[in-house]
Amino acid sequence: MALDDAVPVTDMAPPIVESRSALPRIAAEEVEPHFKAVGGRTGERRGIRLERIYWDGLSHIAAGSGVSTADLVESAASQIPDSTNLASLLRAISFKWALCRIELLEAKASMANLNAIVQASPSPTLVLTRDRKIFLFNDPFLAMLRSRLALNDRSQLKKGLRFLIDIQIDDALRTLNANEGTIIKTGFSIGLNLQTMRGKINVAPAPTHEDSMLIGYVSGF
């Protein structure tokens, strides 16, 4: 199913846009300048003063690259002839690395990739927004509705379909966010006009950075 076909209920479930303008909280010690004398492989020692949050960033970069922070500093120093700009360069390296990581993670956690996960599932699968609307679903989910609720027209999904899980979505998200790597097994009910059905569903946080949503896999009836 193409992405456009996989989101037939977008009209009744517009994406939730959460506030991204709030600044992160910064502890006082994170912006406190911290002096370190860093020695490289050549034996040269450099005195560098950086805010602690940048030292933390450089430590992450070094650990991910399999080198020491000292090696990272020496590599950075080789890029500029004027060592007085080394602290500024290290700040720029730390920030650019963070931006590249964000871009990579956001690309992996895109709506297109979320749709691919939903469509790849062999069981009836859907994505629910925080206001309890169906945002994505796959062919097995549609087949389940057609066989159990006599769904004849996809347009009925936008009109009379009601889907509820037996736990508040915000409560589920809080529980899942507090217990990383877990799932919640719960029940669900579907109503279409005068028809109803119940079943079991496993829910987890939808792997997307754009909205807080649940992905659910129907596990039984």
Q: Is the pLDDT of residue 14 over 60?
A: no
The arithmetic mean of pLDDT across residues 123-130, rounded, is 95
88 Cβ neighbours under 8 A, 6+ residues apart: none
Pick from 177, 163, 162: nearest CA to 213: 177
**How high is the pLDDT of residue 203?**
97
Could you tell me where the DSSP H helices lie in the chain?
52-65, 69-77, 86-108, 111-120, 139-148, 156-159, 169-178
- Res. 6 pLDDT band, cuts 50 70 90: very low
The arithmetic mean of pLDDT across residues 12-28, rounded, is 57
**How high is the pLDDT of residue 82?**
65
Question: What would the pLDDT profile of 65-108 be if each residue is shown by its tens digit?
Answer: 999 999 899 888 888 766 668 899 999 999 999 999 999 999 99
Tokens representing 47 are: 């005195």
Question: What would the pLDDT profile of 193-213 be if each residue is shown by its tens digit?
Answer: 788 999 999 999 999 988 899
Going by their DSSP bridges, the two strands 214-220 and 195-205 should be labelled as antiparallel
pTM: 0.72
C-alpha–C-alpha distance, residues 109 and 105, integer Å: 6
